[in-house]
Amino acid sequence: MNRSSILIIYTGGTIGMKEDPVDSTLKPFDFSQILESVPELGKFACKIDSYTFNPLIDSSDVEPSIWQSIARLIRDRYDEYDGFVVLHGTDTMSYSASALSFMLNSLSKPVVFTGSQLPIGKPRTDGRENLVSSVEIAAAKDEQGNALVPEVCVFFDSHLYRANRSTKVNSENFDAFNSPNFPPLAEAGINIKYYDVLIRKPQNWYERLTVNEELDTRVSILKIHPGITAQVVRNILCGPETRAVILETYGSGNSLTKDWFIDIVREASAMDKILVNVTQCLGGTVNMDLYATGKPLKDAGVISGYDSTTESALAKLFVLMGRYSDNDKVRAALLEDLRGEISR
Ligand code: ASP
User: Ligand 1 centre from 162 Cα, in Å?
Assistant: 20
Number of Cβ within a 10 Å radius of residue 330: 23
- Across residues 313-335, what is the average pLDDT? 98
- Across residues 321-339, what is the average pLDDT? 98
Mean pLDDT of the chain: 95
User: What distance in Å separates the CA atoms of residue 97 and residue 112, rounded to the nearest whole number?
Assistant: 8
Give the pLDDT confidence score for residue 295 in this predicted structure.
87
Give the pLDDT confidence score for residue 234 in this predicted structure.
98
Is residue 315 within 8 A of residue 95, CB to CB? The reply is yes
pLDDT band at 294 (very low <50, low <70, confident <90, very high): confident
Is the pLDDT at 1 greater than 60? The verdict is no
Tell me the best of 59, 88, 93, 157 to mutate to test the pocket of ligand 1, counting ligand atoms within 8 Å of each CB and taking the most: 59
CA angle 94, 189, 38 (to 5 degrees): 70
Give the pLDDT confidence score for residue 33 in this predicted structure.
75
pLDDT band at 288 (very low <50, low <70, confident <90, very high): confident
- Across residues 307-313, what is the average pLDDT? 98
Q: Which residues of 279-317 are buried (b: 16+ CB within 10 A; e: fewer)?
A: bebeeebbbbeeeebbebbbebbbbbbbbbbbbbbbbbb
Give the pLDDT confidence score for residue 24 in this predicted structure.
82
Q: If you take atom 3 of ligand 1, which residue's CA is the nearest one?
A: 89
User: Any residues with Cβ below 6 Å from ligand 1, and which?
Assistant: 12-14, 58-60, 89-91, 115, 117
Q: List the catalytic residues.
A: 14
- Closest CA relative to residue 112, chosen from 143, 81, 142, 144: 81
Tell me the best of 10, 90, 157 to mutate to test the pocket of ligand 1, counting ligand atoms within 8 Å of each CB and taking the most: 90
Is the pLDDT at 140 greater than 60? The verdict is yes
**Cβ partners under 8 Å of residue 292, min gap 6:** 257
Q: Of 15-29, 221-235, 284-298, which has the strongest mean pLDDT?
A: 221-235
Q: If you take atom 4 of ligand 1, which residue's CA is the nearest one?
A: 89
Three-state SS for the chain is: CCCEEEEEEEEECHHHEEECCCCCCEEECCHHHHHHHCHHHHHCCEEEEEEEEEEEECHHHCCHHHHHHHHHHHHHCHHHCCEEEEECCCCCHHHHHHHHHHHEECCCCCEEEECCCCCCCCCCCCHHHHHHHHHHHHHCECCCCCECCCCEEEEECCEEEEHHHCEECCCCCCCCEECCCCCCCEEECCCEEECHHHCCCCCCCCCCCEECCCCCCCEEEEECCCCCCHHHHHHHHHCCCCCEEEEEEECCCECCCCHHHHHHHHHHHHCCCEEEEEECCCCCCCCCCCCCCCHHHHHCCCEECCCCCHHHHHHHHHHHHHHCCCHHHHHHHHCCCCCCCCCC
pTM (predicted TM-score): 0.96
Nearest atom in ligand 1 to 116's CA: 8
**How many CA within 13 A on the CB side of residue 255?**
29
Least confident of 17-31, 55-69, 83-97, 156-170: 17-31
Is the pLDDT at 310 greater than 80? The verdict is yes
Give the pLDDT confidence score for residue 247 in this predicted structure.
98
Is the pLDDT at 253 greater than 80? The verdict is yes
Q: If you take atom 8 of ligand 1, which residue's CA is the nearest one?
A: 90
Q: If you take atom 1 of ligand 1, which residue's CA is the nearest one?
A: 58
> Please, what are the domains in the chain?
4-211 (3.40.50.1170), 219-334 (3.40.50.40)
Q: What is the pLDDT of residues 10-42, one digit of tens each?
A: 999 999 887 777 888 887 777 777 778 888 888
User: Ligand 1 centre from 47 Cα, in Å?
Assistant: 27
Is the pLDDT at 193 greater than 80? The verdict is yes
Is the pLDDT at 97 greater than 70? The verdict is yes
User: Ligand 1 centre from 93 Cα, in Å?
Assistant: 9
Give the pLDDT confidence score for residue 2 in this predicted structure.
63
- Across residues 120-131, what is the average pLDDT? 92
**Cβ partners under 8 Å of residue 21, min gap 6:** none
Give the pLDDT confidence score for residue 60 in this predicted structure.
96
